[in-house]
Amino acid sequence: MKYSSILTILSGTLASAAYPGDIVQYWVDQSAILVNGTVIGGLQSPPSGWFEAIVQGAVYLSADQSHNESLAFQQLAVSHAAHNTLIWAFHATQLYSTINSKLRAILPAIGLDPTSTSGLKAVEIGRQASRKVVTARADDGINNFVDYVQQPALPGVYQATPGGQPIPDTPQAQFIWPFAGIGDIKRFRAPPPPSVNSSEYEGFLNYVKAQGMRRSAVRTAHDTETAYFWKESQPIMSNRLATAIIGNSLATDVRASAKIYAQLNYALSNAAIATWDSKYFYNAWRPVTAIRHPTIFLASGTSVTNTTWEPLLIPTPNHQDYLSTHAAFAGAAAAVLRAYNNGSDVVDVTISSNVTLDNVGVVSRRVISLSEMAKDVGDSRVFGGIHFNFSCEQGVKTGDWVARETLKNFDEKWMDF
């Protein structure tokens, strides 16, 4: 029996039920699976926020244009918007059949025959939504070549991290158009980091040297777990946290669900663009480079050189230290989810992360405060030995600021893809 015939039979029995879960969350989950999968194996920080903002922009557009239709109709429209946008985002990979399988798997549960008159209309809404967003984003700056000129290997200046490429990744990401019309991203540029020859810098350096060392004698078991737990892509973790907080409460309100995930992912992408602007403006070195540096540069005249020092989280990411994008993602997520939570910082959910590094396995954490969550994410990068404290603290602040501006503009300018 042809698949379309199966769907026709199913539609007669399931059309009134539709998919019982939150269709927006379904596609958020599938996006995470694609990024974590063996073909992709992860994305650099800005693209990891950028692609999901595009997907959720198309999802929200299709949800907005179909919200007066049946629930199954809305779910079918959203699914085709997500499918087509994911295909576009990952068109240079081997994920066509995988993405197709994600759509095929959900169609029977939705129950609306996509070849029926109503089904065809829903499919077209989804396709048009995707087309509109990807057309707007086809030349948004992420494809452009931006050269990086290597600077002399002086104290404080970014140098290639062990095992990394000589040039830091995605220098063009600082020039990606932000979402929701928040304006020139340079207005979010962070204040300068502490100078390497200032008295305060020595304290920051000694702290990460001791706490972030791979076989640290002072880092607690809890802090080690913190570093491992938050290692996963922060946009994926932020969306997972959102789903834990929202639950199935918006399953029958597709537009409302699509809106919160669009707000979240717009803010995450904008936060990444803002941190990349600061990274390339200040061009600051990573802890491992500072600790292995052969000369004395601290104001006290103390040598910190340890040419065999390794961080807990290896390898150190192949881009500048200041700001921490991981921390900025967390600050942005906290701001959006706090707004969804009627301004309250208090939540009570448990989320898990499968840590593949060092064969750690699944780690779970209870989150009871959005502010503490953001701080925890920042701290994790210090305990992991890959960021200085000041980079993470400022990262959270910048992410929060960018997210609040994104939310302020969202209702009026969310279609400024």
Banded pLDDT at 41 (limits 50, 70, 90): low
Instruction: pLDDT band for 92, please (50, 70, 90 cuts).
Output: confident
| pLDDT for res 39 | 55
Token readout for 141 is 């700056």
Q: What's the pLDDT score for residue 336?
A: 98
| Average pLDDT over every residue of 140-152 | 94
Compute the distance between CA of residue 257 and CA of residue 179 in angstroms, rounded to an integer: 18
Q: What is the pLDDT of residue 40?
A: 55
Q: Per residue in 285-330, pLDDT tens? A: 999 999 999 999 999 999 999 999 999 999 999 999 999 999 999 9
Half-sphere exposure of 120 (CA within 13 A, CB side): 4
9 pLDDT more than 50: no
- Average pLDDT value for residue range 163-185: 94
CA 38, chain centre distance (Å) = 18
Task: Read off the DSSP letter of residue 346.
Answer: E
The b-or-e profile of 320-341 (16+ CB within 10 A means b, else e) is bbbbbbbbbbbbbbbbbbbbbe
Q: What is the mean pLDDT of residues 30-51?
A: 82
State the helix-helix crossing angle for 71-89 and 96-110, rounded to 10 degrees: 180
Percent of the chain residues topping a pLDDT of 70? 95
pLDDT tens, position by position, 326-336: 999 999 999 99
Location of structure tokens 């929701």: 180
**Intervals of CATH 1.10.606.20 along the chain:** 186-252+282-413
C-alpha to C-alpha distance for 121 and 89, rounded to whole angstroms: 24
φ, ψ for residue 349, nearest 5 deg: -135, 160
Nearest to 323 by CA among 290, 285, 291, 276: 276
Model pLDDT, residue 230: 97
In whole angstroms, give the CA distance from residue 275 to residue 21: 35
Contact between 247 and 305 (Cβ < 8 Å): no
Instruction: Please give the Cα distance from 397 to 329 (Å, whole number).
Output: 10
First to last CA, the chain: 42
44 band by pLDDT with thresholds 50, 70 and 90: confident
Question: What pLDDT, in 10s, does the model give residues 329-369?
Answer: 999 999 999 999 999 999 999 999 999 999 999 999 999 99
Residue from 206, 209, 193, 202 nearest 297 by CA: 202
Q: Is the pLDDT of residue 4 over 80?
A: no
Fold of 186-252+282-413: Vanadium-containing Chloroperoxidase; domain 2 (1.10.606)
d(CA 199, CA 179): 39
* Residue among 80, 181, 96, 125 at smallest CA distance from 405: 181
DSSP-derived 3-state class of residue 369: strand
Q: Does the pLDDT value for residue 15 go beyond 90?
A: no
Task: Say if CB 241 and CB 373 are below 8 A apart.
Answer: yes
Please tell me the number of Cα atoms within 13 Å of 93 on its side-chain side: 19
Contact 203, 288 (CB under 8 A): no
Contact 275, 398 (CB under 8 A): yes
The overall average pLDDT reported for the chain is: 93
- Strands 346-355 vs 361-369: parallel, antiparallel or unpaired: antiparallel
The first and second tokens of residue 150, run together, are: 């290597």
Identify the helix (H) or strand (E) that includes residue 282.
Answer: helix 254-282
Structure tokens at 46: 């800005």
SS3 367: strand
In tens, the pLDDT along 376-393 reads: 999 999 999 999 999 999
DSSP string, 82-103: HHHHHHHHTTTTT-HHHHHHHH
How far are the Cα atoms of 4, 65, 209, 241, 351 from residue 222, in angstroms, in the given order?
Answer: 53, 47, 18, 20, 16
